[in-house]
């Protein structure tokens, strides 16, 4: 059964944006927050990362994440807590890569192959929103 965490207006809001702040934590609970661009697939948030990044190291130790997509004026946001899956190769990797390439011209102009850039699939387990 598919778990529905996000409301329709939250999904609509998230699909209309491209930048979020992604929070990860090491196995010792040391927090780390970075801005990343993302695409949506249903409720899942899809992000490409590079090898050697702190967030990837953290996610290998602790798959729990949180992210926020927000605006100051008007004051509105969606916050998601979830579990992250790291994909590096295979049919599902290529399918998610296509979603990212379709959304971002930068990725189409600077493509990568399997094994060159991990893709994160973040599955929401909890959400909160305001102003939308």
**34 in any annotated domain:** yes
The model's pLDDT over 22-68, given as tens digits with 9 standing for 90+, comes to 999 999 999 999 999 999 999 999 999 999 999 999 999 999 999 99
State the pLDDT at residue 3. Answer: 57
**24 in any annotated domain:** yes
The model's pLDDT over 76-130, given as tens digits with 9 standing for 90+, comes to 999 999 999 999 999 999 999 999 999 999 999 999 999 999 999 999 999 999 9
The CATH number for 125's domain is 2.30.110.10
**112 in any annotated domain:** yes
**1 in any annotated domain:** no
Q: Give me the residues paired with residue 40 across strands.
A: 45
Range of the domain at 81: 8-130
Are 78 and 122 in contact by the 8 Å Cβ rule? The answer is no
The model's pLDDT over 4-35, given as tens digits with 9 standing for 90+, comes to 899 999 999 999 999 999 999 999 999 999 99
**2 in any annotated domain:** no
């Amino acid at each position: 059964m598919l778990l529905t965490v996000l409301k329709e207006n939250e999904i609509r809001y998230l699909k209309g944006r491209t930048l979020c702040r992604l929070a990860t934590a090491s196995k010792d609970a040391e927090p780390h927050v970075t801005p990343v661009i993302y695409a949506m697939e249903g409720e899942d948030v899809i992000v490409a990362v590079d090898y050697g990044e702190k967030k990837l190291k953290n996610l290998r130790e602790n798959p729990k994440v949180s992210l926020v997509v927000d605006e100051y004026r008007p004051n509105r946001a969606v916050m998601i807590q979830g579990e992250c899956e790291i994909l590096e190769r295979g049919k599902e990797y290529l399918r998610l890569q296509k979603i990212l390439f379709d959304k971002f011209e930068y990725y189409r102009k600077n493509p990568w192959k399997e094994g060159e850039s991990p893709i994160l699939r973040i599955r929401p387990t909890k959400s909160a929103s305001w102003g939308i």
